[in-house]
Amino acid sequence: MTTVGFVGLGDQGAPIARAVAEGGFELHVWARRPASLAVLEGVSVVAHESLTDLGACDIVALCLREDPDAFEVAVDGGLLAAMRPGSVLVQHATGLPQRARELAGHAARHGVEFVDAPVSGGHAAAVAKQLTTIVGGVDTVVERCRPVFETFSKQIVHMGQIGTGQFGKLFNNTLMMMNHKNVIDVLALAVDLELPLPRLLDVLRSGSASSTALMAFGPAITMDNAEHLRTLELIDMDLFAGAVESLGDKAKEVVRQAVAGAEGLPELTRVIG
């Protein structure tokens, strides 16, 4: 049986780890705070007091918030040094493609394979095991990880070499935020014309103008979480801007529109609400 180590039991990490265990894999976990393990109650899991104990696993997945967190655990924390040659380190969090390649270099020095596999869909999709997993890595290594990814994914897209998984995720997020800006602009005109917004939204959501960005308002994006989502989306836009820096001014307008979409989330939820 393939053994899977997991670090990062947050909003998305916890349901992903649960899905892996429910998929029949032997799951090993480590958390800074033992209380974090409560989210896995009811599934078979082996908890470890030491991070380096996960080094005995065939695959170790990281679902931490930012690139520095992954480096702190994998490099500074000794995880890679403890992993067996031929095992695989998976990076599920969203980050810079350049940093993914850098982390892969650290892994290679220990004979460890690396895959970047950020996920899209949010907490609800993670709970429903309906995430889209966007993967960068060597074909044979990705195929070794695919059965694990299938436990929590509705679709797995192998983009190409290491780092392209992160590119895929950042482009996905950027287009979603640009679509938020489109919704903001259209509804601002409707407000000026004093149109009945609930009825117009019924048209837009059921007609040809519908989009995931539009449908998210209400179920996933609310007045309660809009400020928090705005912060996360602006972090993603900083990452996207860094990822496409080599393009110079070519990406400037895309970044501007996407940032405006993220900035407008709180006000848009108030208008719709």
pTM over 0.95: no
Question: So where are the chain's domains?
Answer: 3-161, 168-272
Nearest to 81 by CA among 119, 114, 112, 44: 112
Backbone angles phi, psi at 191, to 5 degrees: -65, -45
Q: What is the CA radius of gyration of the chain?
A: 20
Per-residue model confidence (pLDDT) at position 271: 84
Distance in angstroms (rounded) separating the CA atoms of residues 154 and 134:
11
Distance in angstroms (rounded) separating the CA atoms of residues 41 and 24:
16
Per-residue model confidence (pLDDT) at position 35: 86
Q: For strands 119-120 and 131-136, give the pairing.
A: antiparallel
Class of domain 3-161: alpha beta
Q: For residue range 50-69, list pLDDT tens digits in order.
A: 999 999 999 999 999 999 99
Ordered per-residue pLDDT tens for the chain, 273 residues: 899 999 999 999 999 999 999 999 999 999 988 888 999 999 999 999 999 999 999 999 999 999 999 999 999 999 999 999 999 999 999 999 999 999 999 999 999 999 999 999 988 899 999 999 999 999 999 999 999 999 999 999 999 999 999 999 999 999 999 999 999 999 999 999 999 998 999 999 999 999 988 888 888 889 999 999 999 999 999 999 999 999 999 999 999 999 999 999 998 898 887
Cα distances (angstroms) measured from residue 136 to each of 38, 99, 166, 230: 31, 13, 7, 27
Report the run of H or E that residue 158 belongs to, with start and end. Answer: strand 153-160
Question: Which CATH number describes the domain made up of 168-272?
Answer: 1.10.1040
